[in-house]
Amino acid sequence: MRTVIATLYVGTLQVEATPKDVLNQAEPLSPTFVNAASFRAFYWTGVKSGSAPVAYMLRGGNANGWQWSQSGQIVGNAHGWFRVVIKPPARYDWYRVEVLGTPQTLRSKIIGAMEVAE
Amino acid sequence: MSAERITRREMLKRLIVAPVGAAALATLPVREASAAALQPHYEPYFVAVLWEGRTRCDSLWRSLKGDVVAILPTVQGATPYDRLYWTGYALGSAPVNVAMRVWARAVDHNGVSLGSGWRLIGQATIQTPPLRWFRVEIPEGHWDEYRIEVRSATTRLVYSRVIASQGYWKE
Amino acid sequence: MPVRFLRNASELADVSWETPLPVQVANAKPVPADTLLVATTTVTTDANRDLLGSTSTELPTLDGCMQYRKLVWFYFRAGADSTTYRVLARATDHNGAPLGTGWQEIVPATTLPGGANSWGRIEIPASSDGYYDQYRIEVQRTAGSNYNLTSKIVGVR
């Protein structure tokens, strides 16, 4: 067994006052990631263009709906780096990574950690 | 140094199977071998025996391999391992009082040490009743080479293993 | 009927807790810890000077580190002169370009432990998980004279 890191998302998102996920999907049932049950942890690293905090909401679930959520804030100076570590309490098939806040640009990368057999 | 071949059944005849006495520890935690108390969130998935054999301990600091040459490692190629364990028992019927210390160093691509000497990882004293297992956990892993030294005021034979594990952290 | 196996070339043993079947896992091997850097640095008073001797603050000391949960920095310092180190990290996109300028400071300026001719070991990060793509490790002498710092950095999955 060893840990393998997979890049799940790299992109630039315009943060707005209404919530949407990092793929710019406003529909609250739309997942950011599917088939994600093999990941035990996610690492979200990026740069925010503004100084205002960005609120985030993470959800885990499946096609029948969301079963878990966790929220927080990304704080930091303009053009500052951030890192959010996500360790869900259980493995979910779908995840949604949602943000909202004062308009600014979020350029970020989300990687997932999973165990694979050698 | 010759290793005595001992069957498991023979070994059990010689030992009293009971929870081992914990050794007095200075820096390194020494635990009861039968309890096998690994940290609850660390799970080893690969375990290797790096060395096994018998050491005659006397008043000099000797590597488990028996030498008093300070530059020689006891085990090499230990880089992949998160942690090491030294476990064994002292032969003889007298109470055990064996001091041990663990040194470590890193080497370059040619296998040459980065600098002189070693880093002292820790030390412990094994003070168990006779014929009891001991176990010392060496939690500082990923060094390339380790030198494990033992010393005893009275001559003792210690039969031991150096085990290394590679694991992952379960959330 | 108990399961038996031939042990010691002449003795038949029942399979039991005491005498388990001798089994070896085929092809099992440890996941290697990768050596990412071996370098000797002259530790000077220059600010923002990394282990490769570079003061170009946008250049990483290590790249391609996404797979590593942790880096382990082993060093041998020839001098005891007061020294601080700090560790910066960031992520890159698929092309290896950083997502932005600057760095996330994951270890602020900290005293480098150890005296003259001593060994040190520092885990990066010390307590959380790494998985950053790039790291920049800077050292700066704050007193005394220049000395050599020999480092080896290993990536652990």
State the pTM of this model.
Answer: 0.80
pLDDT tops 60 at residue C114: yes
> Given this model, what pLDDT does residue B14 score?
53
Q: Which of A79, A86, A97 is nearest to A34 (CA)?
A: A97
How near does any CA of chain C get to the CA of A79, in Å? 7
Domains and CATH numbers, chain A: 2-116 (2.60.120)
Average pLDDT of the residues in C109-114: 97
Query: Which residues, numbered 16 to 75 in chain C, qualify as contacts with chain A under a Cβ-Cβ cut-off of 8 Å?
Result: 27-29, 31, 66-67, 69
Bridge partners (DSSP) listed for residue C118: C77
State the Cα–Cα distance between residues B134 and B23, nearest whole angstrom: 7
How many percent of chain B have pLDDT more than 70?
73
CA distance A93 to A61: 6
Higher local confidence (pLDDT), C16 or C68 = C68
Domain spanning B8-169: which CATH class is it, in words?
Answer: mainly beta
Q: What is the mean pLDDT of chain C?
A: 91
Judging contacts by C-beta atoms under 8 Å, the chain A residues touching residue B171 are: 40-41, 87
Residue closest to C75 by CA, chosen among C129, C38, C45: C38
ipTM over 0.90? The verdict is no
pLDDT at C29: 72
> Residue ranges per domain, chain C?
31-156
Yes or no, beta carbons of B168 and A41 under 8 Å apart: no
H/E segment holding residue B9? helix B8-14
Region C19-36: mean pLDDT is 73
Per the CB < 8 A criterion, the answer to whether C154 and B140 are in contact is no
Contact indicator for B54, B158 with CB cutoff of 8 Å = yes
| Chain C residue closest in CA terms to A45 | C91
pLDDT over threshold 80, residue B115? yes
Subunits adjacent to chain B (3 or more Cβ pairs under 8 Å)? A, C
pLDDT, tens digit, 9 for 90 and up, residues A86-98 = 999 999 999 999 9
Closest residue of B to A41, CA-based?
Answer: B171
Strand partners, A61: A66, A94
Per-residue pLDDT band for C12 (boundaries 50, 70, 90) equals confident
User: Does the domain at residues C31-156 carry the CATH identifier 2.60.120?
Assistant: yes
Optimal mutation site among B46, B110, B142, interface C, most CBs of chain C within 10 A: B142
Q: Are A107 and A47 in contact (CB under 8 A)?
A: yes
Lowest mean pLDDT among C10-14, C35-39, C50-54, C83-87: C10-14
How far is CA B91 from each of CA A67, B13, B54, B67, B136, rounded to the nearest angstrom? 59, 13, 10, 20, 17
Contact A46 C99 (CB under 8 A): yes
Rounded to whole angstroms, the Cα distance separating C49 from C31 reads 32
Q: Rounded CA gap, C81 and C116, in Å? A: 8
Distance (Å, whole) CA B132 – CA C44: 53
- Residue A14 corresponds to which tokens in the numbers above? 């315009």
CB atoms within 10 A of CB C80: 14
Task: Return the sign of the alpha-carbon dihedral for residues C49, C54, C55, C56.
Answer: negative
Any CB–CB contact under 8 A between C96 and chain A? no
The answer to whether the Cβ–Cβ distance between B168 and A87 falls below 8 Å is no
At B14, give phi and psi (nearest 5°).
-85, -25
Chains that touch A (3 or more CB pairs under 8 A): B, C
Least confident range from A57-61, A93-97, B159-163, C23-27: namely C23-27
